[in-house]
Amino acid sequence: MELIQVTNLVKKFGSFTAVDGISFSVKQGESFGLLGPNGAGKSSTMRIIGATSQRTSGDVKILGNDPEIHGPQIRAHLGVVPQQDNLDEELTCAENLYIYGRYFGLPKKMVTEKLDELLEFAQLTEKKDAKVNSLSGGMKRRLTIARALVSDPDILMLDEPTTGLDPQARHILWDRLFRLKEKGVTLLITTHHMDEAEQLCDRLIVMDGGKIMAEGSPAGLIKEYSSKEVLEVRFGSDRNMQMVDKLKNLTDRIEVLPDRLLMYTESGEELLARISGLNIHPNTSLVRRSSLEDVFLRLTGRSLIE
Amino acid sequence: MSLVKTVNRKVSTTGFWYVVEARLRNMLKWTRIIIFVAIANPVLYLISIGIGVGSLIDGNSPVDGVNYLTFLAPALLASAAIQGMLDEVIFPTFQGFKWYKNFFAMNATPLTGRDIAGGVFFSALIRTVFTVSVYTITLYFFGALKSSKALLVVPTAILAGAGFGALILALAARAKSDDLFMMITGRFIMMPLFLFSGTFYPLEQMPVFLQWIGWISPLWHATDLGRLLTYGSDVSVEMVIVHLTYMLVMLVVGLFFAFRNYSKRLAK
């Protein structure tokens, strides 16, 4: 059962093409990611799926219906967490959740009964009657996510859910999203953090310049587009380039970043030993598993986070 | 979890009312200030201009056959209705589109641009009904209501506020710069309207080439109508129809464009 079906979607703003003919579908209960750098067209895609922005061409079906024709009816099934928190800052946490439930037409009694549960989910029980403009960034983010859950959405859409949060706040959020996934909520997540995509997504598309570069599960993409391990070596910024020539025969793929070389290999330790054998000694070295960052680098020749 | 096959959730046809609920909650945070302004505004104007300036004028010759305060009262009432309405449509519009961007949050629910614009407008109207009611009670205590039809001035003042408020709601939804918009509406629209709409003296006493400001001003239409209602000023039936029609048209056209501009800006 496809909850979201996107076919040849194009979105233009004037002469600028934000989304350039993408197609994908998301099944019920799936956690689907849109991974890409800022400006890749993720948010534009999200807004079209969220039935708040019109597409230029292509076909979109959400729950089998066209968002441009049945916008309000489709939105009744969605929970949306936008990139920027857009809470009503003058109102309290509880009031924000309450009025949002009312926007969905939920009865007053029903919304009131849900408040405590949602505040607990957002870990804001103590802040129930605090005005939103007194909250920290992480608290506002959690409140925005709790707000999106007030209507028990079938699809929860999160646009860069943890951007701007400190590591601890991110892990709390991930934990909350895992719980929702366990409950069977379909998640649609955009992110430019590959660790987030690896953590949360069953399947994802890698986007760049409005196009889909690759599609698959995080593990599948890593397997397809990268090696098992990566050896990162640093020789100092002026010597990195010189060393490429000496090292390039040791492995199939080397990426040169401003501060380090990435060498793709099935065994990092073994490769490092061979480098030492050549009497080459990097200033520092690190062996790690391949990540989606490496997939992105492979696909676009650019790093995801500059 | 059940299998969702299609869109099967009910969407309310009166979504604007939920926006009204939210706006009223916002206003309730300012209850004391709203009440203070509603009372202080008429009292200060009536004492300073009505009684103060009036004492200079009434000794010589009455304006339009009544004392100055009675002449002035309907104009002050209508201008309070308009000002109150403007405050309550301009601030939430900038708040919703620009400052907090909470209109985009509303639009992510089943609510449409039309619901949101309608909700902002209707809640502003509720505040204006309150303001005009308090003002009218104050006028009564100042003895400015002379006619038995005087209470009809409440709906006509509200109509002036509603008409102009709808128009400004439509314009504010398109405005990019909040500072510029407020400066223009305040200094270049509200101020001239207040001064040139026959507020302080009959419009006919203005040079003809300035009278047009009054003709396009909802304030003048409401003021002229108000003078008929509060003390029986000489206004023809035809003019009554013109006044009411003008303000109603403004209301309908304003709301039409407000609905449109809200929807457009949300979809950007």
Contact B105 A82 (CB under 8 A): yes
Q: Is residue B41 part of a domain?
A: yes
- A179 and A259 assigned to the same domain: no
Residue A301 lies inside a defined structural domain of this protein:
no
The range of the structural domain enclosing residue B213 comes to 20-267
B8 inside domain: no
Q: Read off the pLDDT band of B1 (50, 70, 90).
A: very low
Asked whether the whole model's pTM tops 0.95, one would answer: no
Helix (H) or strand (E) holding B146: none
Residue A303 belongs to some domain of the structure: no
Same domain, A69 and A193: yes
What is the count of structural domains for chain A? Answer: 2
The verdict on a CB contact (< 8 Å) between A99 and B25 is: yes
ipTM score of the complex?
A: 0.89
Q: What would the pLDDT profile of A8-46 be if each residue is shown by its tens digit? A: 999 999 999 999 999 999 999 999 999 988 888 999 999
Measuring CA to CA, which residue among A92, A165, A85, A166 is closest to residue A134?
A92
Q: Residue A38 has which token pair?
A: 């800022």
DSSP B53: I
> Are A19 and A41 spatial neighbours (Cβ–Cβ below 8 Å)?
yes
> Same domain for A46 and A124?
yes
CA distance A46 to B132: 45
The answer to whether residues A210 and A245 belong to one domain is no
pLDDT the model gives residue A151: 93
The residue from A154, A180, A215 where one domain ends is A215
C-alpha B213/C-alpha B190 separation (Å) is: 11
Kindly report the CATH number assigned to the domain that includes residue A127: 3.40.50.300
| Chain A residues whose beta carbon lies within 8 Å of the beta carbon of residue B9 | 73, 76-77
Contact at CB, A100 and B12, closer than 8 angstroms: no
CB contact under 8 A, B110 and A87: no
Question: What mean pLDDT value characterizes chain B?
Answer: 90
Which distant-in-sequence residues (6+ apart) come within 8 Å of B42 by Cβ? B76, B77, B80, B134, B135, B138, B139
Closest CA of chain B from A81, distance in Å? 9
**How close is the nearest chain A Cα to the Cα of B27, in Å?**
10
- Domain with A256 in it: what CATH number? 3.30.70
Quick check: is A299 in a domain?
Answer: no
Q: pLDDT tier at B89 (50, 70, 90 boundaries)?
A: very high
Looking at A124-138, A144-158, A229-243, B132-146, which range is the least confident one? A229-243
Judged by CB atoms closer than 8 Å, whether chains meet at A105 and B15 is answered as yes
| DSSP element (H, E) containing B262 | helix B237-267
- State the average pLDDT over residues B9-31: 90
Collapsed DSSP state (helix, strand, coil) of residue B232: coil
Residue B258 lies in a domain: yes
Q: Do residues A71 and A198 share a domain?
A: yes
Which of A215, A247, A266 is the endpoint of a domain? A215
In a domain, B10, yes or no: no
DSSP bridge pairs for B164: none
Among A166, A184, A215, where does a domain finish? Answer: A215
Q: Exposed e or buried b for every residue in A189-216, given b needs 16+ CB within 10 A?
A: bbbbbbebbbbbbebbbbbbebbbbbbb
Of all residues in chain A, the percent with pLDDT exceeding 90 is: 56
pLDDT tier at A244 (50, 70, 90 boundaries)? confident
The answer as to whether B7 is a domain residue is no
Is A208 in a helix, a strand, or coil? strand
User: How far apart are alpha carbons B207 and A265 in whole angstroms?
Assistant: 89
* pLDDT computed for residue A306 by the predictor: 47
Minimum CA–CA partner of A154 in chain B: B4
Token pair for A268: 């990092």
Q: Which of A62, A74, A88, A134 is the mutation pick for testing B, counting most B CBs within 10 A?
A: A88
Residue B129 has pLDDT above 60, yes or no: yes
The confidence score (pLDDT) of residue B2 equals 46
Indicate yes or no: CB of B104 within 8 angstroms of CB of A82: yes
CA–CA distances in Å: residue A24 to residues A13, A211, B146: 22, 11, 73
Structure confidence by residue, pLDDT tens digits, A101-116: 999 999 999 999 999 9
The answer to whether B158 touches B132, Cβ cutoff 8 Å, is: yes
The residue of A11, A16, A80, A102 whose CB has the most chain B CBs within 10 angstroms, and thus the best one to mutate to test that interface, is A102
The CA distances from residue B46 to B11, B202, B223, in Å, are 48, 18, 16
In a domain, A124, yes or no: yes
Which pLDDT band, with edges at 50, 70 and 90, does A49 fall under? very high
Asked if B29 reaches chain A (Cβ–Cβ under 8 Å), the answer is: yes
Q: Residue A43, class by beta-carbon neighbours within 10 Å (0-12 exposed, 13-18 middle, 19+ buried)?
A: buried
Q: Which chain A residue shows the shortest CA-CA distance from B266?
A: A52
Question: What is the edge-to-edge ordering of all strands in the sheet holding A284-289?
Answer: A253-256, A261-265, A229-234, A284-289
**Structural domain count, chain B:** 1
Residues A40 and A162 in one domain: yes
* A297: in domain: no
Q: Is B120 on the interface with A (CB under 8 A)?
A: no
The residue-averaged pLDDT of B120-130 equals 96
B12 close contact with A: CB closer than 8 A: yes
Is B100 part of the contact surface with chain A (CB cutoff 8 Å)? yes
- A106, HSE (Cβ side, Cα atoms, 13 Å): 24
| A271 and A200 within one domain | no
pLDDT, residue A301, reads 76
Amino acid at A90: E
| A257 & A149 share domain | no
Q: A86 and B102: CB-CB below 8 Å?
A: yes
pLDDT-derived band at B188 (thresholds 50, 70, 90) equals confident
Residues A237 and A154 in one domain: no
Helix, strand, or coil here: B260?
helix
CB contact under 8 A, A99 and B101: no
Q: Which amino acid is at A187?
A: L
Asked if residue A10 is part of any domain, the answer here is yes
User: CB of B119 within 8 A of CB of B262?
Assistant: no
- A264 and A203 co-located in one domain: no
Domain check: are A251 and A115 in the same one? no
Per the prediction, chain A carries an average pLDDT of 90
Domain shared by A136 and A257, yes or no: no
CA dihedral sign of residues A98, A103, A108, A113 = negative
How large is the average pLDDT for residues A50-56?
A: 94
Which of the pair, B252 or A237, is modelled with greater confidence? B252
- Residues A230-256: b if buried by 16+ CB within 10 A, e if exposed: bbbbbbeeeebeebeeebeebbeebbe
Domain presence at residue A220: no
Domain that holds residue A169: 2-215
Position A304 confidence tier, pLDDT thresholds 50, 70, 90: low
Q: Which residues of A touch B (CB under 8 A)?
A: 1, 3, 28-29, 50, 52-54, 63-65, 70-78, 80, 82, 84, 86-91, 95, 99-100, 102-105, 147, 151, 154, 183-185
Q: If pLDDT is split at 50, 70 and 90, which confidence band does A217 have? A: very high
In a domain, A305, yes or no: no
